[in-house]
Structure 1
Amino acid sequence: MDNTTWTLVAALAAVGLLLLMVIRWKFQEFLALLVTTIVFGLAVGTSPTELVELVVEEMGGSLGQLALVISLGAVFGTILQRAGAAERIATTLVGKFSDKNIAWGLGVAGFLVSISVYIDVAIVILVPMLYGIAQRTGKSLLYYGIPMCAGLSCAYTFMPPAPGPLAAAGIMDAELGLVILFGVLCGIPAVTVAGPLFGRYIAKRIFVPVPTQLHAEATGIGGTAGGGTSSDAAGVESPRGASLPSFRSVVGALLLPLALIVLGTVGKQALQEGTAPANTLMFIGHPVIALLLTCLYTMYFFGVRRGATGEELRELASSALGPAGQIILITGAGGAFGGVLVASGLGEVLAEAMEDASVPLVVFGFLTASVIRICQGSGMIAMITGATFTAPLAQALGAGPTETALTTIAIACGGAAFSHVNDSGFWMANRYFGMSVADTLRSWTVMKTTVGVTGFAAVLALSAFTS
């Protein structure tokens, strides 16, 4: 067996080992990625000393910017969540849309909320707010829940600083401003098709009544959820009974980092390099500075001005960094795995095979992430692993900034689609909608798959237009 064939066989075996450790042996994802990296490196003939040095170097290099951005994004999101930003967005948009068009408002609400709030936490906070609407109108809970969850899923899939697309962009070395721009362009049709359109369709075929016990808990009857605070997955309390911030201030905070990053991209692409305007825009638009400014803004306007003490803000920031630390380690391990793949020459092997088969880069990224997603369930791991295998290929093919950014979105689409019984989000939806497993597959799984496939179709259309 020649070296090229052995490298490809070793890469496939590494994927099998990774899935075995995560699914069968229940390894923590960071440890599974690290073990897989070392096994693969040794299998392709890298000396142990060089391998350790390469892993350390690549992990440190991949986390230089990402660790800061992920941490700042986590703090920013936690402060907004504690201030009641999700509740404000949902209640305001629900109030502004008529019963006929409310599904569209819920899709927008979900999209805005999930820019800064983890999707499972958003489901816990927002879905119970729909119980009263469904009871009043007598419609299936899916009529309102599917559009909101589609919006949550799209933002969590397409929009940094959500951790999945942010990690994939870092591993792919994609221009973050372009990722945000293409994320919006691909997210709009995905929300539309998977949200209000599919929600209306499935609600006619599956009637889901409001879960009586959960509704009682959400309204404080026989439970504690309505009495003051509710805890999210990170252990941070959300003030259900406290006064909520204004809608404009919340939307402004959510859009601030995105606007700054896009401005940085504009300064880099459209202005003459070295001029004062270009340098200024590139500085404030750098992802680290954009998230730092946003973090300071939210700490003051949603913390200090709302009566939070310095100690309370410190505790909020500390609680946010726990989940962020896990994401950082997993992303770093994925970057290290990618570095070893590049050093092995796998990128050249795949590039030759893809050229012979005429497979576009975006298709390879989507399929790779989709396979991992179907096998092990976690969208985050699917995106990181998909980016890990696609990055060396993009480098070997000499992909430009536009193609790299679109491929990042394609990977994120693969990581969002095909949610089923091995995905924690599937069971969150199952519980909070009070559905059977079969109905959850017919509604939640189809919605998530529609998000990924519609987003990927938009990627293909943009690829044809920009190539």
Structure 2
Amino acid sequence: MEAVATLDPTRLVLAAIIGLVILLVLIIKCKVQAMISILVGAISIGLIAGMPLTEIVSSVNEGIGNTLKGIALLVGLGSMFGAILEVSGGAQTLAVTMVRKFGDEKAAWALGITGLVIAMPVFFDAGLIILIPLAFSLAKRTKRSALFYTIPLLAGLAVGHAFIPPTPGPVLVATMLGVDLGWVILIGIFCGIFAMIVAGPIWGKICGNKYFIPVPESVANQEDIDESKLPKFWTIVGIILIPLVLIIANSVAKVVPALSGIQPVLAFLGEPFVALTIAVIAAMFLLGYKHGYSNEELEKIMTKSLEPTGMILLVTACGGVLRYMLQNSGLGDVIGNAVSSASLPLVVVAFIVAALVRISVGSSTVAMTMAAGIIAAMPGISELSPLYLACVTAAIAGGSTVCSHFNDSGFWLVKSLVGMDEKTTLKTWTIMETLVGGVGFLVALVISFFA
């Protein structure tokens, strides 16, 4: 649909400001569900801007349809993949093996790497609940503060959750910006490694030395993990690598002439939903059937894993509505011209927008959705290189991670699981999240100069 060129730019900007204020007030003050808030805010922008009612309806339908068709399968397949990995003990296998290889002195590094890998297929909350007993057992054995090990684990989980597909956040941003997932994975891994190192082992050591947080009594008395019942380490690594390798191979084949002969095959296998389907089937056989799960049990596990995806998909779809409302009203052109005149790199703008929403609303999903919608509505986005768009995606991921505080459910989950008060959680977890987002963004900014 063509943008409405006849609308007054001043009215468009006013419409955007009022619409976004309505959205934020509904979420923050009125505690209205994010999906409804974003939808009401988007429609308000269209009405105040003076868009014809038929175009408002068309923008809503266009936003929902075009957004969901790119991510619905990926979110569902990723959830099932993560659920099988979770119930089979695959996450624990990675953590236990890595800690044993690194040793107690460098276990913080092992936990950071494990968290990063596990958060790609497994939701943050589930990954934390599965792996935090191992961090506590290490703290108990070494008589150190629990923060010495939990902060690196949290940093790794936060990085994998925010920066690297197939976790839903970067997938939805990449879809809205129209960027190849292979580039997003490569840039996400590169940014994530630096972010994990700074926010994980380095910051964790500082926190562990400054604040002594004892291991919760309920955990201190638990028995150690029985490794004999866990799947093999390389089996888990191989299964997790399947979608990543296939998607990256597809991206590489597009720019390497020597692979032109097999490019059609790699393009098919590297299509994200195909790659994830292969990984899910491999997990079903190697982690499900081979470990005694029946068809009925796997079906229940995989079906239950889809329950939280409805909220993710609907919030994301409404973010698509916001994007198309901004774009079709002509506001995208106004924002684009303002950014150009301000001489700010798009990567910086993307980070700032996502960070402001994150600080205001608390939800990283809403922050990613809104920032991606605003950036995607700008003119000329499709003409940017895949590498630059991948950097923009990483910048949005970074902005949506910083400054977790009282309005973020993750803040309260970490506080309760680790056993800290609010003040200590702000001084440890909140700074860790800000380091994750900030360092990831800075790495993406540096890479963008060469894109």
Q: TM-score, normalised by structure 2?
A: 0.95
The answer on 1:390 being equivalent to 2:395 is no
The answer on 1:18 being equivalent to 2:23 is yes
2:244 corresponds in structure 1 to: 258
2:163 corresponds in structure 1 to: 158
Between stretches 436-445 and 97-106, larger displacement belongs to: 97-106
Distance 2:97 2:381 in 1: 49
Please state how far the C-alpha of 1:155 moved relative to its aligned partner.
0.7
Q: Of 429, 445, 448, which residue of structure 2 is paired with 1:460?
A: 445
Q: Which amino acid aligns with 2:9?
A: T
1:433 corresponds in structure 2 to: 418
The answer on 1:92 being equivalent to 2:97 is yes
Q: Is the 8 A contact 2:15 2:44 kept in 1?
A: no
Q: Of 347, 354, 377, which residue of structure 1 is paired with 2:362?
A: 377
Which residues in structure 2 correspond to 1:254-403 (within 5 Å)? 254-271=240-257, 276-393=261-378, 395=380, 398-403=383-388
Which string of whole-angstrom CA distances, capped at 9 and with x for unpartnered residues, describes residues 311-351 of structure 1? 11211121111111221111111112111111111121112
Please state how far the C-alpha of 1:359 moved relative to its aligned partner.
0.8
Please state how far the C-alpha of 1:421 moved relative to its aligned partner.
1.2
Distance 2:311 2:91 in 1: 24
Between stretches 95-104 and 404-413, larger displacement belongs to: 95-104
- Structure 2 alignment gaps of length 5 or more: 1-6
Distance 2:107 2:202 in 1: 12
Runs of 4+ in structure 1 off by over 3 angstroms are 213-216, 239-242, 394-398
2:232 corresponds in structure 1 to: 246
Please state how far the C-alpha of 1:413 moved relative to its aligned partner.
0.4
Between stretches 55-64 and 189-198, larger displacement belongs to: 55-64
Q: Secondary structure at the match of 2:229?
A: coil
Percent sequence identity is: 38
Distance 2:168 2:326 in 1: 23
Distance 1:98 1:394 in 2: 52
Q: Which amino acid aligns with 1:381?
A: V
Query: How many residue pairs align between the two structures?
Result: 445
Distance 1:272 1:60 in 2: 37
Q: Secondary structure at the match of 1:416?
A: coil
1:236 corresponds in structure 2 to: none
Q: Which amino acid aligns with 1:119?
A: F
Please state how far the C-alpha of 1:50 moved relative to its aligned partner.
2.5
Distance 1:106 1:317 in 2: 27
The answer on 1:4 being equivalent to 2:2 is no
The answer on 1:127 being equivalent to 2:132 is yes
Between stretches 50-59 and 115-124, larger displacement belongs to: 50-59
Q: Which amino acid aligns with 1:417?
A: V
Q: Secondary structure at the match of 2:129?
A: helix
2:208 corresponds in structure 1 to: 203
2:4 corresponds in structure 1 to: none
Which string of whole-angstrom CA distances, capped at 9 and with x for unpartnered residues, describes residues 257-278 of structure 1? 11110011112222489x5411
2:88 corresponds in structure 1 to: 83
Q: Is the 8 A contact 1:394 1:404 kept in 2?
A: no
Between stretches 43-52 and 197-206, larger displacement belongs to: 43-52
Please state how far the C-alpha of 1:394 moved relative to its aligned partner.
5.7
Which string of whole-angstrom CA distances, capped at 9 and with x for unpartnered residues, describes residues 204-226 of structure 1? 1111111223434xx17xxxxx9
Distance 2:338 2:53 in 1: 29
2:141 corresponds in structure 1 to: 136
- Quick one: structure 1 residues 153 and 56, their matched pair in 2 at CA, closer, same or farther if it must change by over 3 Å? same
Q: Is the 8 A contact 2:89 2:230 kept in 1?
A: yes
Q: Is the 8 A contact 1:130 1:144 kept in 2?
A: yes
Which residues in structure 2 correspond to 1:207-246 (within 5 Å)? 207-216=212-221, 219=222, 243-246=229-232
The answer on 1:31 being equivalent to 2:16 is no
Please state how far the C-alpha of 1:54 moved relative to its aligned partner.
2.4
Distance 1:247 1:76 in 2: 17
Which string of whole-angstrom CA distances, capped at 9 and with x for unpartnered residues, describes residues 118-144 of structure 1? 111111111122222112211111111
Q: CA RMSD in A?
A: 1.8
- Quick one: structure 1 residues 396 and 124, their matched pair in 2 at CA, closer, same or farther if it must change by over 3 Å? closer
Distance 1:43 1:116 in 2: 41
Please state how far the C-alpha of 1:400 moved relative to its aligned partner.
2.4
- Structure 1 alignment gaps of length 5 or more: 221-225, 227-238
Q: Is the 8 A contact 2:81 2:121 kept in 1?
A: yes
Which string of whole-angstrom CA distances, capped at 9 and with x for unpartnered residues, describes residues 288-333 of structure 1? 1111111111111111222221111211121111111221111111
1:232 corresponds in structure 2 to: none
1:111 corresponds in structure 2 to: 116
Q: Which amino acid aligns with 2:33?
A: Q
Q: Which amino acid aligns with 2:385?
A: G
Please state how far the C-alpha of 1:240 moved relative to its aligned partner.
8.0
Q: Secondary structure at the match of 2:12?
A: helix
Q: Secondary structure at the match of 1:75?
A: helix
Q: Of 23, 34, 50, which residue of structure 2 is paired with 1:45?
A: 50
Q: Is the 8 A contact 1:128 1:432 kept in 2?
A: no
Q: Is the 8 A contact 2:177 2:381 kept in 1?
A: no
Q: Is the 8 A contact 1:65 1:288 kept in 2?
A: no
Distance 2:227 2:251 in 1: 41
Distance 2:73 2:422 in 1: 39
